[in-house]
Chains A and B, each alone.
Chain A
Amino acid sequence: MRGGRRRRVLGLVAASVLVAVGVGGCGGDEDGSCPPLAIAFLGALTGADASTGEVVRNSAALAVEDHNTANPDCEVGLLSFDSRGEPARAEVLARQIIDDPQVVGVVGPVFSGEAEAVLPLFETAGLPVLTPSATNPELGEQGWQVFHRLVGTDADQGPAAVAWIVDVVGPERVAVVDDGSLYGGTLADLATDELIRRGVVVAPRQKVEPGVRDYGQAVESIAALDVDAVFFGGLGDAGAQLHGQLREGGVSGPFVAGDGTYTGSFLEVVGQSVDGGAAVAVTCPCVGAAATDAQRAVADRYREVFGAEPLAFAFEGYDAAAMLTAGIDDGAHSRAAMARWLGDATYEGITKTITFDDAGEVVGGPVFVSRIEGGAFVPIAQVVDGRVVPLG
């Protein structure tokens, strides 16, 4: 009787182990099955600052389409979540993304402010994130295991913008303006520190509020100081307004801004009055204009499919989505597996060979400086280790 009971217990234990192994096998990372999986895009698709988000989303859609064309029996979905660039809304959407069991990776968030809001949620859910465009350096300093960034940060971009200003303009006094956002404020701070370090006089910081169309007070203050250049940390819509009002206010020195203004809306407005020269310079840790065959191919398809120019972060957006689909193809079928895969992978993207350090920051990547010419952003220099290297 005792022996019979023991055999039954052992049988149950063995069955439990088999079931556990079986269940574990279903969720395994390296199996050859093709479960329905998706990646999510999170960023602004509507509102005044939707340009960058739309570019990233569209290029991610191209990458997913390329993957699905090559793998018709193992298609991956792209779910688009429109944050409008608002951190509070991004939090709501992040929860929806987390609740979807098919999502194994996120392309985005597009902006640093929303990234700061949602990354703790994604960290708790163990959902890997690849941002192609959020450049606040602090994002990589929080110890988030799910965080990965495909571009350099404002810590690279601010000093690079200053290097260009010092190298090309040689100013005595520079005005620094920000739009009050996390991104704009951080970038302006970094530029200010670098200007001071290089011995340039920095005028008292001016702030402009996106959505408020009259920046007269800031413009008057800057005009009164007779500055040689203006550095703006902020997004495209406010940047375009500020640029126009500065010119109307008699401030004629170069207007230098970060990647937040590398947008269609900024180009559309500012491009009407600027064509070439050094009047406007925009920095970006992104590739910007296509320079390789792979980038040109993607750019051509982008124009063909979406009828628009692939602006800043288009190629990084493509790489982010393509890398996630490559992970899926490599058997990363769960969030945990995807996080491990991203940590270990060396991926040949169209922008660069992508590997991440322990903080999730991409290894390498210069900052480009572009001007507006012929209604388009044209790269004119890249800044490497504080040195300005003219292109072409």
Chain B
Amino acid sequence: MSLDPRHWPLGRRIGVALVVAALVPMAVLAYFSLDAGREAVERAQLDSVEGSATEAAVAVREYLAGVSARADALGTRPDVVAFLDAGGSGDAPDLTDAASPDVAAVGVIDASGTTVAAAGGASAGTDVSGAGWFADAVAGRATVAPVSLDEASGTSTVTVAAPARNPGSGVQGVAAIEVRGLDVLAALNQVQLAAGGQAWLVDDAGVVVMARDSRVLGRTLDDLGLGPLQVAIDSAPLGTLTGVDLVDRGPQVAAFNEVQPGLSAVVLQPEAVFLGPVERLGTITWVLFAVVGVVAVGVAVLLARRLSRRVGVLTAAAARIEGDEPPDADALAVVGRSGDDVGRLARVFARMAEQVAVREQRLRDQVRSLTIEIDEERRRKAVSEVTDTDFFRDLQGRAAEMRRRARGEAPAGDAPMGDASGGDDS
């Protein structure tokens, strides 16, 4: 098959033109529509993941703020302040009320850093003067300590401390509440996650300090293949990132938001899920495109073949006429049934062929009659050319003489030589 369209049959040309005219614009349209759709869905999904990270951060922040309020309430309780004012002597305040199910330990600490009253997992007499949260709280600033993760058990705690003092007076000690990481994690996981999504808390060193998955706890983002995420968290309090590759989980979309300085909520969502709607849209579009393409090609091939076949009938008919043979009237009649241009052409062609045949027959008849006349004349002329000769007359005379002799009649001088009637002799 020639690749030069100028050498293509008409049917193929029309077929290819149909396919190109149908598919190329559709492909271009599909490509740009998909591109725009992908961009819109990606943006929406990124916004959604970022929203989840923000929601998670806010939930943890609010939970810790609640614990901070409890620590503040404990630190301003008259019996606690009085106890501290008395130098930790007398009846220790009852801290049972502060020990709700989420609390791992409660402590009242004097200004030197010694725990003077405790409940839950805390013990009186413990020295916490070296703790950063104590330094902050005893300086008058309520504070939330960094998450403390016990890697052996995978459990974590968060200590929230508030200065203990009478309102408007100097700090006399610290009230501290240590909450279980499980409760912080519960706050973090209030966020609605898409299929396969995860929510983590990550500290300022990039260590995952809270997560549902035991395999990621205590590991750095770098270890987990999420180095770019660590860089992003270090550079901004809020953001999103695509294409980060989590170990054993594959490409993820990540969003993060700061809970407090040094602690960020991170939400991860598998990219496959994230881009699922776009991929599905793309698949549907290209499948439709393929179906329409196949249909278009099929229709074009059918049309081209039909056109080629009908034109072929006309061509064959013309060739037969050229070869002085009658065209296939039945085939022409079939083509001529159609009301389109080719059908009209076939009908005209058939009539033309009939006319040509009639005229040809007439001419043949005329030629035949002329030929007969010419032949008669030619025969007459040939006969006369023979009979008008002296030799023929001589032969006729001799023949008559011979006949007379045969009948016993007089010799030839008595009868004329020209009596040559008697067809048998001529």
Q: Measuring CB to CB, which residues of chain A are less than 8 angstroms from any residue of chain B?
A: 36, 38, 45-48, 50, 54, 58, 61, 64, 75, 77-82, 84, 96, 99-102, 265, 305-307
A320 to chain B, nearest CB (A): 15
In the assembled complex, the Cα of A101 lies from the Cα of B196 at a distance in Å of: 8
Q: Is the CB of B195 within 8 A of A99?
A: yes
| A residues less than 8 Å from B214 (CB atoms) | 61, 64, 77-80
A308 to B, closest residue via Cβ: B121
Instruction: Answer whether residue B193 sits at the interface, using C-beta atoms and an 8 A cutoff.
Output: yes
Which B residues touch A48, using CB under 8 A?
101
| CB contact between B182 and one of A36, A38, A46, A102 (< 8 Å): that residue | A46
Structural contact, A305 and B153, CB atoms closer than 8 A: yes
Cα A189 to Cα B313 in complex, Å, equals 93
Given A84-B186, A99-B195, A99-B196, A306–B155 Cβ distance below 8 Å?
Answer: yes
Residues of B within 8 A of A77 (CB): 213-215
* A residues less than 8 Å from B101 (CB atoms): 46-48, 50, 265
A54 to B104 CA separation, bound complex (whole angstroms): 13
- Assembly CA distance A77 to B121 (angstroms): 29
> Is B189 positioned at the interface, with any CB of A under 8 Å from its CB?
yes
Question: A82 to B153, Cβ gap below 8 A?
Answer: no
Which residues on A sit within 8 Å (CB–CB) of B195? Answer: 96, 99-100
| Residues of chain B contacted by A101 (CB below 8 angstroms) | 196
Report the 5 A-B pairs with minimum CB-CB distance, sorted nearest first.
A99-B195, A36-B248, A77-B215, A78-B214, A305-B153
For residue A36, which residues in chain B have a CB less than 8 angstroms away from its CB?
Answer: 248-249
Asked if B196 and A75 sit within 8 Å, CB to CB, the answer is no
Within 8 A of A (CB), among B165-213: 180, 182-183, 185-186, 189, 193, 195-197, 212-213
CB-CB under 8 A for A58 and B193, given A46-B101, A77-B215, A82-B186: no
A61-B154, A99-B195 given; A45·B186 CB < 8 A: yes
Contacts of B193 in A (CB 8 A): 96
A80→B217 CA distance, assembly (Å): 12
Q: In the complex, what residues of B have CB within 8 A of residue A84's CB?
A: 186
Which of chain B's residues has its CB closest to A98's CB?
A: B195
- CB-defined A-B contacts under 8 Å, sample of 8: A36-B248, A38-B215, A45-B186, A75-B215, A82-B182, A102-B249, A305-B152, A307-B121
Q: A29 → chain B, closest Cβ, in Å?
A: 20
Q: When chains A and B are docked, how far (Å) is the Cα of A100 from the Cα of B268?
A: 13
Contacts of B182 in A (CB 8 A): 45-46, 50, 54, 82
Q: CB distance A100 to B186 under 8 Å?
A: no
Chain A positions within 8 Å of B189 at CB level:
82
CB pair A58 B153 closer than 8 Å: yes
Expressed in whole angstroms, the Cα–Cα distance for A265 and B120 within the complex equals 12
A residues near B197, Cβ cutoff 8 Å: 96
Give B195's nearest chain A residue, CB to CB.
A99
Q: How far is the CB of A352 from chain B (nearest CB, A)?
A: 26
- Chain A nearest Cβ from B164, distance in angstroms: 26
Which residues in A have their C-beta under 8 angstroms from that of B248? 36, 102
| B102 interface residue per 8 A CB criterion | yes
Binary contact track B132-176/A, C-beta < 8 Å → 1, others 0: 000000000000000000001111000000000000000000000
Q: Other than A58-B153, A77-B213, give 14 A-B pairs with Cβ distance below 8 A.
A: A36-B249, A45-B182, A45-B186, A46-B180, A61-B153, A75-B215, A77-B214, A79-B214, A80-B214, A96-B195, A100-B196, A101-B196, A102-B249, A265-B101
Tell me the complex Cα distance, A47–B100, Å: 9
* A82 to B182 Cα, complex, angstroms: 8
Contact A46 B213 (CB under 8 A): no
In the bound complex, what is the Cα–Cα distance between A96 and B189 (angstroms)?
11
B-side contacts of A80, CB under 8 Å: 212, 214
Chain B contributes a number of interface residues (CB within 8 A of A) equal to: 23
User: Which B residues are in CB contact (< 8 Å) with A99?
Assistant: 195-196
B152, closest chain A residue (CB): A305
Kindly provide the distance from the CB of A65 to the nearest chain B CB, expressed in whole angstroms.
Answer: 8
How distant is the Cα of A58 from the Cα of B180 in the complex, in angstroms? Answer: 14
How would you classify the secondary structure of chain B's contact residues: helix, strand, loop or mixed?
loop
Partner of A46, one of B183, B196, B249: B183
- Which chain A positions have C-beta within 8 A of B155? 306
B212 touches A79 (CB 8 A): yes
What chain B residues lie within 8 Å of A46 (beta carbons)?
Answer: 101-102, 180, 182-183, 186
* B220-256 interface with A by 8 A CB criterion: 248-249
Residue in A closest to B102 when the chains form the complex, CB atoms: A46
Instruction: Identify the interface centre among B121, B155, B185, B212: most chain A CB within 10 Å of its CB.
Output: B212
Q: Which residues of A contact B154 (CB under 8 A)?
A: 61
> How far is it, in angstroms, between the C-alpha of A54 and the C-alpha of B180 when the chains are bound?
12
Q: List, in ascending order, chain B residues with CB within 8 A of A45's CB.
A: 182, 186
Residue among A36, A77, A96 with the most chain B CB within 10 A? A96
Whether A79 contacts B213 by the Cβ 8 Å rule is yes
Q: Please report the C-alpha to C-alpha distance between residue A87 and residue B152 in the assembled complex, in whole angstroms.
A: 31
State the Cβ distance, A71 to closest chain B Cβ, in Å. Answer: 13
With a cutoff of 8 Å between Cβ atoms, the chain A residues found around residue B121 in the complex are: 307
A50 to B186: give the CA distance in the assembly, Å: 12
Q: Please indicate the chain B residues that have their CB under 8 angstroms from the CB of A82 in the complex.
A: 182, 185-186, 189
Q: How far is the CA of A45 from the CA of B155 in the complex (A)?
A: 12
| B-side contacts of A96, CB under 8 Å | 193, 195, 197
Whole-angstrom distance between the Cβ of B250 and the nearest chain A Cβ: 10
**Complexed CA–CA distance, A101 and B249 (Å):** 10
Nearest-neighbor residue (CB-CB) of B215 within chain A: A77
- With CB as the reference atom, state the residue of chain A lying closest to B192: A92
Neighbouring B residues of A47 by C-beta, 8 Å? 101
Chain B residues with CB under 8 A of A305: 152-153
Query: From A99, which residue of chain B is reached at the shortest CB distance?
Result: B195
Tell me, rounded to whole Å, the shortest Cβ–Cβ distance linking A308 to chain B.
9
Closest to A53 in B: B182
Complex CA distance for A269 and B250, rounded to whole angstroms: 48
Measured CA separation A307–B150 after assembly (Å) = 11
Distance between Cα atoms of A101 and B189 in the complex (Å): 19
Q: Which residues of B contact A54 (CB under 8 A)?
A: 182
Cβ-closest chain B residue relative to A82: B186
Q: Which residue of A lies closest to B185 (CB)?
A: A82
**A81-B186 contact, Cβ under 8 Å, with A46-B102, A58-B153:** no
How many Å from the CB of B201 to the closest CB on chain A?
14
**Which residues of B in the span 351-368 have a Cβ within 8 Å of any Cβ on A?**
none
Of all chain B residues, the one with the shortest Cβ separation from A81 is B212
Residue of B nearest to A97 (CB): B212
Quote the shortest CB–CB distance from A339 to chain B (angstroms): 21
Residues of B contacting A58 in the complex (Cβ-Cβ under 8 angstroms): 153
Specify which of A54, A80, A307 lies most central, judged by the most chain B CB atoms within 10 Å of its CB.
A80
Bound state CA distance, A102 and B270, in angstroms? 13
Distance A142 CA – B257 CA, assembled complex (angstroms): 45
Which single residue of chain A is at the shortest CB-CB distance from B150?
A: A305
Q: Which residue of A lies closest to B197 (CB)?
A: A96
A305 to B154, CA, bound (A): 9
Bound-complex Cα distance A17 to B193 (A): 38
Contacts of B152 on A, CB cut-off 8 Å?
305
Determine the distance from Cα of A84 to Cα of B154 in the docked complex, in whole angstroms. Answer: 19
**Cα-based distance from A38 to B216 in the complex (angstroms):** 12
B86-111 CB mask vs A (1 if < 8 Å, else 0) is 00000000000000011000000000
> Which of B155, B185, B215 has the most A CB atoms < 10 Å from its CB?
B215
Cβ-closest chain A residue relative to B247: A36
A237 (CB) vs chain B CBs: closest residue: B101
